[in-house]
Amino acid sequence: MEILNLLKKIVFYLLILLVTVLVFYQLYLIINAPKFKKSTPLNMSATVINDLSQNNLNQNATQLSDDEFSYTIVGYRAGKKNSSVVLRKNNVDYVVQQGELIDNTYRLISVSTDEIVFDRAGQKRYIKIESR
């Protein structure tokens, strides 16, 4: 009987120790929580231009008009790897990674802080990024 009482006390004290450690750990997480700073939204405008380089002057592909690219650029992530663009059409946002297709038509080729390049049937579409 005494062994049972001793085991109960040991389990009880171990549980108290565990709860104490968890409370201190939770306090540590609260104190060291990340601080979020307010930021202003990214203001930018995009101007779509057609590629007029010598490579495309001799192609017989149909010329794309600005009306065909009916997406609005909401944001972008430019980098050496995993670049992406957030596009909006009819109040629906699409995230397009580099190399992916949007509407089975436009493939995202590259993203930089100056321009975004899409490809449609071998014809490149450059979107210049102008920060306001």
23-34, pLDDT tens digit by residue?
Answer: 999 999 999 888
29 assigned to some structural domain: no
20 assigned to some structural domain: no
13 assigned to some structural domain: no
Range of the domain at 75: 44-131
24 assigned to some structural domain: no
Number of compact structural domains in the chain: 1
Query: To 10 degrees, the CA torsion angle through 53, 88, 38, 128?
Result: 10
DSSP symbol at 112: -
28-68, pLDDT tens digit by residue?
Answer: 999 988 877 776 665 555 555 554 444 443 333 333 444 57
56 assigned to some structural domain: yes
1 assigned to some structural domain: no
Question: The pTM is what?
Answer: 0.49
